[in-house]
Amino acid sequence: MLATILAQYGLADTHCRVLPFGTGLINRTWKVVDDTQEYILQKINGQVFSNPVHISENIGALADYFDAYHPGYLFVKPVKTLTTGAGYVLYENDCYRLLPFVPASQTYDTVSTPQLAFEAAQQFGRFTRLLRDFDTSSLHMTIRDFHNLTLRYKQLEQAIEQGNPQRIRQSRELIDFLQSQHGIVKAYETYTSQKLFKLRVTHHDTKISNVLFNTEGKGLCVIDLDTVMPGYFISDVGDMMRTYLSPASEEEADLEKIIIRDEFFYAIASGYLGEMQDEMTTTEIDHFVFAGKYMIYMQAIRFLIDHLNNDVYYGARYEGHNFNRAVNQVTLLQQLLLKEKLFSDFVISKSYLQT
């Protein structure tokens, strides 16, 4: 199967080594090494992305924009096929794309130092800033309502009604906690309906593995552009807080290990706001910490929904995997709530300018 796809790029699989690559939950990724070059091959998850061609069109439009207005920016473009010239291959209802592997670049799976958090936050902030004049309405919504918290909360209520009855009973405590935090949904609805947050080109998946670094650990650019869509800063800032603040990942089942590292928050704020503060309104900056609450809460809800719906979306490697992931995220949220005042004061007093 992969041989047929590689052939469309003029790559003979007899000359290539193809190895599984990365840790994403949704798409499948391989590294392809031939005699002269290295590539990344990806199979887009067709269950999640109902129209993968839309992803390619978005990436093409962004590539054109960067070419025209920011030619110095490293933008990793999919390789065009020899057969159709498109930046993707459709094969048996699945969509594949091949990307050049940027020489002397690396990615990280964990955020081990505040410097890495700073570099990544700077890259995500820079991406949105450089695209400030890009017409957001020209982008396809590759996943409709992806970060719509109102809808995610409704899906949770639905799963509580219609999901696996045994799992619902066992999840009572978790459900109660999530329902007790419904104020986060209300706040999100207020900020968005009153247009207090601006729609911008937003990445929507700001985990550390979606940043390319050079060999010295300096950020080069952001990658994995499937979910680049119009959105709010809370998605990108919030997902960095969700995935950079704790040394333990969302997979950790030992809750004692879920702690918040203050310096990593300061690094995210300095990196992101260093790029974005002049673009953002005072209200947005004042809600910087809300971003973390919003994203962690939403991810807890999404994992619990999947547990109640028998793991159809994320899959599970063991019984109760998504339940544990939801508990992990709730723990992280509780830890963040303890730091809310400290972190808000840091941002509001503009201390991020000093670090």
Q: Within 10 A of 350 (CB to CB), how many other CB atoms are there?
A: 12
Q: Nearest Cα to 167, choosing from 347, 53, 309?
A: 309
Please tell me whether residue 24 binds ligand GN1 under the rule CB under 6 A: yes
Please tell me whether residue 74 binds ligand GN1 under the rule CB under 6 A: no
Helix residue spans in 277-320 (DSSP H)? 282-286, 288-308
Nearer to Mg ion, 206 or 331 (CB): 206
Query: 284 is written with which tokens?
Result: 């947005």
Burial class of residue 118 (count of CB atoms within 10 Å of its CB; 0-12, 13-18, 19+): buried
Q: Under 8 Å CB-to-CB from 84, ≥6 apart: which residues? A: 8
* Strands 28-33 and 17-20, bridge-based pairing: antiparallel
Q: Nearest Cα to 336, choosing from 181, 112, 108?
A: 181
Supply the minimum distance, in Å, between the C-beta of residue 204 and Mg ion. Answer: 9
**One of 2, 18, 26, 196 touching ligand GN1 (CB under 6 A):** 26
Residue nearest to ligand GN1 (CB): 26
Please tell me whether residue 48 binds ligand GN1 under the rule CB under 6 A: yes
Please tell me whether residue 25 binds ligand GN1 under the rule CB under 6 A: yes
The window from 19-27, 50-58, 139-147, 176-184 that contacts Mg ion (CB under 5 A) reads: 19-27
155, 163 Cβ separation under 8 angstroms: no
Please tell me whether residue 19 binds ligand GN1 under the rule CB under 6 A: no
Q: What is the distance between the alpha carbons of residues 92 and 112, in angstroms, rounded to a whole number?
A: 40
Nearer to ligand GN1, 42 or 122 (CB): 42
* Chosen from ligand GN1, Mg ion, none, partner binding at 299 (C-beta under 5 to 8 Å by type): ligand GN1
245, 257 Cβ separation under 8 angstroms: no
**One of 34, 205, 236, 306 touching ligand GN1 (CB under 6 A):** 205
Please tell me whether residue 151 binds ligand GN1 under the rule CB under 6 A: no
Supply the minimum distance, in Å, between the C-beta of residue 282 and Mg ion. Answer: 32
In the shown chain, the binding pattern of residues 274 to 303 toward ligand GN1, with x for contact by CB under 6 A and - for none, equals -------------------------x----
10, 82 Cβ separation under 8 angstroms: yes
Please tell me whether residue 205 binds Mg ion under the rule CB under 5 A: yes
Supply the minimum distance, in Å, between the C-beta of residue 121 and Mg ion. Answer: 18
Tell me if residue 245 falls in helix, strand or coil.
coil
Q: Under 8 Å CB-to-CB from 329, ≥6 apart: which residues? A: 242, 250, 296, 297, 299, 300, 303
What is the Cα Rg of the chain in Å?
20
266, 247 Cβ separation under 8 angstroms: no
Please tell me whether residue 22 binds ligand GN1 under the rule CB under 6 A: no
The window from 23-31, 35-43, 77-85, 192-200 that contacts ligand GN1 (CB under 6 A) reads: 23-31
The window from 22-30, 94-102, 213-221, 266-274 that contacts ligand GN1 (CB under 6 A) reads: 22-30
Query: 173 is written with which tokens?
Result: 């405590």
Residue nearest to Mg ion (CB): 205
Q: How many residues does the chain have?
A: 355
Supply the minimum distance, in Å, between the C-beta of residue 299 and ligand GN1. Answer: 6
47, 29 Cβ separation under 8 angstroms: no
Q: Within 10 A of 24 (CB to CB), how many other CB atoms are there?
A: 16
* Chosen from Mg ion, ligand GN1, none, partner binding at 119 (C-beta under 5 to 8 Å by type): none
Nearer to Mg ion, 42 or 331 (CB): 42
Nearer to ligand GN1, 227 or 277 (CB): 227
The window from 5-13, 21-29, 178-186, 187-195 that contacts ligand GN1 (CB under 6 A) reads: 21-29
Q: What is the distance between the alpha carbons of residues 29 and 280, in angstroms, rounded to a whole number?
A: 35
The window from 22-30, 189-197, 280-288, 309-317 that contacts Mg ion (CB under 5 A) reads: 22-30
Query: Which spans of this chain sit near ligand GN1 (rule: CB under 6 A)?
Result: 24-26, 48, 205, 227, 250, 299
Query: Which spans of this chain sit near Mg ion (rule: CB under 5 A)?
Result: 24, 205, 224
